[in-house]
Each structure stands twice: as structure tokens, then as C-alpha cells.
Chains A and B, each alone.
Chain A
Amino acid sequence: MFANYLPTGAEYFRLLPEMILTAAGTLIMVLEPLTGYRRKRFLGHLALAGLLAALWAAVVAYSSPGPAFNRLIVVDGFATFFRVLVIVVGILTVLSCWDFLARHKAESGEFYSLILFSVVGQCVMVSANELITLFIGLEVSSIATYVLAGYLRDDKRANEAALKYFLLGSFATAFLLYGVAWIYGVTGTTNLVDIRQILESRDVIHPILAVSTAAALMFVGFAFKVSAAPFQIWAPDVYQGAPTPVAAFMSAGPKAAGFAILLRVYLTAFGPIDQSWVPFVWTCALATMVIGNFAALAQNNVKRLLAYSSIAHAGYIMVAVATGTAPGAAAAMFYLAAYAFMNVGAFVVVSHISGRGERKVNIDDLAGLSSRQPLTAALFSVFLLSLIGVPLTGGFFGKFYIFKAAIDSQLYWLTILGLLTSAVAAYYYLRLIVVMYMRPAVDGEEELPPLGGGLKTALWASALGTLALGIFPSAVLNFAGASGAMLVR
């Protein structure tokens, strides 16, 4: 009698990336006690192989799109786009963490397993078609990230970061869950497509006030995960305290997945009542852009500066969400892809220069980087220029499409203020470039170690990604456009 619940082969096929990642993570845990202290790099290679296999699986899973497991997840263009994105972020993180972990004598299999499991959670999130699955995916991703933030156990700031992130994150999750309970209470379903149909049907008089409350409560949870104002307070402390490769991971992977579920829930499920949620997304976008950019001006610590900059970028993406349209969703997707490359790249550079104990993370420590390590300085400049939004980089087209979508939706004020704040942002990014190129190195500074193989690969891959999105944006944008349109079907 339960035979119709048995998943078919095609459904397993659609879940293949998650299965590969979970298997790889578990395998690493099993092999961890069997590898000696000096051989831990092998586990890193294994994690990399798992991620690459999952990347392949995510791409081929799109050859048979559709729902799976009783419509709990759905593999469509949107899910595939974000799956590929979060897996690529995982790959870049694993590549860039080797030197860092070796320097802190903290190489272990647990680190790689946690990264893989966190990516599993993000993959589930972005393909979730239902609120319970979405919530479980979010928790898997978040809890792994909380642990990763406190990975360097002896570092006081890392402990502080992990605890702050954990407490505030649990609090925000409670709001999200409360919102889910409301929406289930009103509509009697947790499936996003069913919620949309119930809200659209005219013969059911749905209490709009209750649905709006649910949307608002869920927004608290989502806004926390993507560090949007007024729920951004945790971000600078956590990014500063967490190990730099983890900060790179947190600022790109979970954030992209957070925006993915925000877009899917609001455009698919709450699409019919957009007049009631657009105002608070609008306010949040404005506040996030202003707070992020102006607070970043006053920072001297590069990690904190990048944390505030990541808040500001969340603001730009919120502008795209506030349009509530398919082009807006496509612009947000494109921006998240560009942002992932440039931001991970910038954090990778910081992790390279930070030194043992991460002491050298102030802006002054960048002095003379252009003469000490010209290649690192040049690539860092590419990432910073892209974060500003200079043409020929991914950041330019990201901003361009977002503000174009905003103008098409008549969000003129938001566009004007977004452009003004991104002009402010140019100052603090350029300041880093000026210090790198114009100020001589301090005498007696110990030599930076040469770029390791993993770091070099991660840097070049991020730089190529940033430039490719800036020079040939159309392929990615067309894909994003087609899959964004599916959300509001």
C-alpha cells in the first residue's frame, strides 16, 4: 500500500549531488583515524574529489529536471544554478584552506567533513520545494558553519565568533520556524507551489493579514542568514573571529543559499501577495546598503571591512528581491555568482597575508604588497575592482542588471540610493589598492611565504570567474533569466 511512495531511480538521480557529498564526508570521517598527522592533506584531496564529483552530478541531474521525493525537492534551472554555485564555493574553500590549516597546525579530516556537510545542507536548501525540507537544509548548513567558525579552538576570537553566531542564529531560526507554523496554520500545507495556488484561488478567502505575518516572521530568519539589516550585527564579529577560509566560505556559500530560499519562498509561494511584503524588503534593502557601506568606511581590519562590504552587497541583492519580478530574480542570481567569485578571492588573499595567528589583517599590513608579491597584489586588485563594480568585471554587470531590474519595476529611489552608496563603497576598496601600490613595505617585515599550489589555483579560478562573468555575461545571464522566470510561473 505504500509502494507509490517508493522513490524511483530518476528521483534518486535528482538527489545525486547530495548523496555523493554525504558519502564523501562520511568516508573522510572513517579514514580520518587511519591517516597520520602528516598525511591529512590526502583527506583534503578526497574532499576535493567528492566536490568535483558532486559538481558533475549537479550538472547531469539537470538532464532530467522535475520534482522528487513526493515533491519535497525540485530540480529545476534555479536549483541547478545555485547547486553549482555552492559546490564551486566549497571547492574554492577546500583549495584555499590547506596552507592556512598547515600554518595553524590544525589540519584534520573533521574540517573537510564539515565543509562537505555544510554544502549538502545548502544543496538541499536551494532545491527544496517545501518548507520542512528547506528548514532541515538550512539547519544542516548553519550548524556545520557554527562549528567551522569556532574551528580554531584555542583562538579566543574564534570562540566568541562561534558562540555569537550560534546564539543569534538559533534565535533567528526560531522566528523562521514560527513563520512556517503560521503559514501551515493558514493554508494547511508546506509545499511552496500549493501555497501559491491557495493564495491565488479566488474562491478561498484567505486571511491576508495572517499570510503577511507569516511572510514577515520568515523574513527575519532569512534576513539573518544573509546578514541584511537590521539583522546584520553578528556579521563583522563573526567574520573577524572565524578562520579566514571559513569566513570566505560563510560569506559566499550560505549567503547564496540563503538568498536562493528567500527568492524561492517569496517569488513562488508569496508571489500573489507581493504588495504586502515588498515594502519591508524595500526598507531592508535600503538600510542594509547604507549601514554596510558607511560602517565599512571606518574599518581598519581588512576582515571586518570585507564583512561590512558583504553586508552592503546583501543590500544590493535585496534591491533585486524587492522588485519581485523574474528579471529581478535573474539579476540576483547573476550577482550572487559574481559576488561568490570576487568575495572568496578577496578573502583568500587575506588568508594568505594574515600569517600565523592571523595577526596581520590590518590595512597597514598590505603596505608594499605590490613589490613583495606582485601577483597576489594584482589579483587582489581585480577582486576589489569587481567589488566596486568597474566594467569588465563580474561586479559591474551584477550591479548593472540589478539596477536595471529595479528601474523597470519603478524602484527609482532605491536605485538612486544604491548607486550613491556604491560610490561611497569605491572609497574604501580603492584605499586598499592605494596602500598596496603606493605605500612602501615596512622594513624588517618578515617575508610572505610563496603562494601554495592550492591557494594559487583558488586565486586564479576566482579571478577567471570574476573576469569571465564581466566579459561574457550573456550565457550565465540567459540561464539565470530562464530559470528565474520559472519561479514566478
Chain B
Amino acid sequence: MDVILFLLFAAIAVACGVNLVVQKHPIASALSLVGVMGSLAVLYLLLGAEFIAAAQVIVYAGAIMVLFLFVIMLLNAGGEPKTPGKSRMAGLLGIPLMAVLLGLLSYLVQRALPKPAGVTFGAFTGGKPYDVGKAIFTEYMLPFEITSVLILIAILGAIVLARKEID
């Protein structure tokens, strides 16, 4: 059962991810991103990370995607204009190299990662809100606090890059 669910949602995630890139219209891409986020949430749930799965659905698939769609609609972004001839180099070199990288990585995952100690579904404990909260506010308190500086920078960046023209 676990394996079937995993394969199903992993396949959906990958398919939506590819679709996200190849779609010409930004709305279609954004909707594929919802698919990726949703299937990732299921994968987290399969691993036993309940809190992360819920946060993934509420924050990413919900709030952030709504924001994305709003921005796309506000900017009135239409279909991407075609840029012929420009990306021949990227097509010739990029796609084979990407295939090589992915092939190499999957070979290495197969080959190098220890099998018996590998992931077993549902065996993971510590995914409850209590565990996550405990980890964040005790062991990893410092990175958590520094993240607030990161958010401050994001606000500043929005002010700087979106302000009115100088003069």
C-alpha cells in the first residue's frame, strides 16, 4: 500500500514538475506547481511527518499559491513570447547534460546509499507538532532566529526594488 501510494504521488510530482517548466502560460505553470506541492505533502505524510505535510498544504499549496496567482493576474502576464533560435545551444547542451546529471545521481543513489538503513515508510517518528516545535525552539533555536533577519531582508528588498523612481 505504502509503496503504491509513494509511486503514484512521486510520479504525479515529477509529471507536474515537468509540466510546470514546459507550459507556456504562467497560470498553467502555477497550477502545476499546486500539483507538485500537493503530492509532496502526501509524500511527507507517508514518511510520518504529519506537521510538515499539513504546513505544506496550508502554507505552500494554499497561501503561497494564491499569492502567486494574484501576482500573475495583477501583472496581467500572458503567454510567453516565442524567442526563436536563441536557445539552440541550451537545447543541444543543456538537455543531454541534464539527462547525464540525473542518470548519474540516480545511479549513485542506487549504488551508494545503504539499503537496509534506508527509508522505511511510516517508521519515521518525530513528525508531530510537538516534536517539530521542540526541535525548532531548543536545538535549532539559533537558525530559527536568524531566519527572522532573512524575512527582514525580504521586506527591505521589496521596498528597495519596488519603490518609485529616483528623482
Residue of B nearest to A162 (CB): B161
B160 at interface by CB-CB < 8 Å: yes
Interface digits, B139-166 against A, CB 8 Å rule (1 contact, 0 not)? 1111100110110111011011101011
- Are the CB atoms of B150 and A139 closer together than 8 Å? yes
Of all chain B residues, the one with the shortest Cβ separation from A19 is: B145
Q: Which of A150-158, A287-295, A332-340, A455-463 contacts B (4 or more CB under 8 A)?
A: A150-158
Whether the Cβ atoms of B112 and A213 lie closer than 8 Å is yes
- From known contacts A154-B165, A210-B112, A210-B113, infer whether A72 and B143 are also in contact, taking CB-CB under 8 Å: yes
Question: What chain A residues lie within 8 Å of B163 (beta carbons)?
Answer: 153
A36 within 8 Å of B by Cβ? Answer: no
The answer to whether residues A110 and B167 also contact, given A133-B142, A133-B143 and a CB cut-off of 8 A, is no
A114 to B149, CA, bound (A): 10
DSSP majority for the A interface?
Answer: helix
Residue B86 lies at the interface, judged by CB distance under 8 Å to chain A: no
Tell which of A121, A154, A162 touches B166, judged by Cβ atoms closer than 8 Å.
A154
In Å, the complex CA distance between A18 and B163 comes to: 28
Closest to B118 in A: A185
CB distance from B128 to the nearest CB of A (A): 17
CA distance A70 to B165 in the complex (A): 46
Give Cα A140–Cα B146 distance, bound, in whole angstroms. Answer: 8
Chain A contacts with B in 27-85, Cβ cutoff 8 A: 29, 69-70, 72-73
Asked, given contacts A2-B138, A105-B167, whether A186 binds B149 with beta carbons under 8 Å apart, the answer is: no
Instruction: For A185, give the chain B residue with the smallest CB separation.
Output: B113
Out of A108, A133, A143, which one reaches B157, CB within 8 Å?
A143
CB-CB under 8 A from B167, the residues of chain A are 105
B window 30-69: CB within 8 A of A: none
Any A CB within 8 A of the CB of B111? yes
Q: Tell me if B93 counts as interface (CB < 8 A to partner A).
A: no
CB distance from B113 to the nearest CB of A (A): 6
Q: Does B143 lie within 8 Å of A209, measured CB to CB? A: no
A263 contacts chain B at the CB level, 8 A cutoff: no
Contact B138–A72 (Cβ < 8 Å):
no
User: Chain B, 90-111, contact with A by CB distance < 8 Å: what is the 0/1 string?
Assistant: 0000000000000001001001
Report the Cα distance A162→B162, complex, angstroms.
13
A147-B161 in contact given A29-B156, A106-B166, A154-B166 (Cβ < 8 Å): yes
* 9 nearest A-B pairs in the assembled complex, by CB-CB distance: A210-B112, A147-B157, A209-B112, A5-B138, A69-B142, A136-B143, A207-B112, A72-B142, A136-B146
- Chain B: residues with CB nearer than 8 A to chain A? 105, 108, 111-114, 134, 138-143, 146-147, 149-150, 152-154, 156-157, 159-161, 163, 165-167
| A contact residues vs B (CB 8 Å cutoff) | 2, 5, 7, 15, 18, 22, 25-26, 29, 69-70, 72-73, 104-106, 108, 110-111, 113-114, 117, 120-121, 124, 132-133, 136-137, 139-140, 143-144, 146-147, 150-154, 162, 185-186, 207, 209-210, 213
